Amino acid sequence: MNNNFDIEKLNKAFESRIRLGIMSVLMVNDKVDFNTMKDLLKLTDGNLASHMTALEKFEYVAVNKQFIGKKPNTYFEATKLGKAAFKKHLDALEKLLKHP
């Protein structure tokens, strides 16, 4: 058994499948609005909001609010820090899979 894998390289912020989904969507899209993200991941408003708040606290996502006409619009973007952290997390997962 290869003991070169360091479990600490996995980021606890991405342990949730929902947060993995959110970051995966944001890695391939410049920005995604609230309803699109909710529909893509089949989440409730509250569930999406709570996970976004957690990722925002880590400064991994930016939550932007604006009005389109009189209608509020919320959209999300991955920050540079978030993209780097997620890539590092994915690299660690890949290393784990290749070197059990």
Give residue 4's pLDDT: 63
**Cβ neighbours, 10 Å, residue 1:** 5
Give residue 1's pLDDT: 47
Give residue 20's pLDDT: 96
Domains of the chain, CATH where assigned: 13-98 (1.10.10.10)
Give residue 5's pLDDT: 66
pTM for the model stands at: 0.87
Give residue 77's pLDDT: 98
CA distances from 19 to 16, 49, 67, 92, 100 (A): 5, 11, 26, 16, 24
Name residues of the chain where pLDDT drops below 50.
1
CA distance 51 to 42: 13
| Backbone phi, psi, residue 21, to 5° | -65, -45
Give residue 35's pLDDT: 95
What is the amino acid identity at position 5? F
